[in-house]
Amino acid sequence: NGSGKTTLLKTIAGLVAHEGRILAGNEPLHSLPPHGRRIGYVPQDLCLFPHMSALDNVLIGMARSDLDAGGRRARACELLEMLGLDGLAGRRPDQLSGGERQRVALARALASAPRLLLLDEPFSSLDQPTRSRLRGELTRLQRDLALTTLFVTHDLAEAEQLGDRIGTMRGGTLTER
């Protein structure tokens, strides 16, 4: 706790000021505004809009999409289906379980077709069976979408299951494990 994990993710996403460079591959991100970085971000608290349906929460992730309204809706429905939520598209967050809310937030992050997905302790508030199931779903999504993911967790088992490379943060310094 307090090592700077969330700050690191927010910095990569362009949500906090920083000094220095941020590169994705060889492409500089540090000079781009947050919406120009093509990053999907799922914060710890999920930040779902409580007055909006699951579908509308996913659609908001495509606000800057080149797709027309019909294309955005079709893509949002495809993401909800991919995450097993197609029958829940009309429900508000307070009508969903914790795992369902988590999957809506993940669908919203994927809606913009990101090059990089940032996940900040996404499963920390879930019970063990739900965590295990969602880890499997995330592993499948990473593989199917060939999506680079930076996943922050306190759970070593999650890190080992989901990570190709694992790092540890202490006092704002990231070291490879």
pLDDT digits (tens, 9 = 90+) for 49-84: 999 999 999 999 998 888 899 999 999 999 999 888
pLDDT digits (tens, 9 = 90+) for 16-40: 999 999 998 889 999 999 989 999 9
pTM beyond 0.85: the answer is yes
pLDDT above 90: residue 90: yes
Which residues partner with 176 through β-bridges? 167
DSSP 63-76: TT-SS-HHHHHHHH
Closest CA relative to residue 108, chosen from 99, 95, 117? 117
Q: Which residue has the higher pLDDT, 127 or 68?
A: 68
* Distance between CA atoms of residues 111 and 152, nearest Å: 21
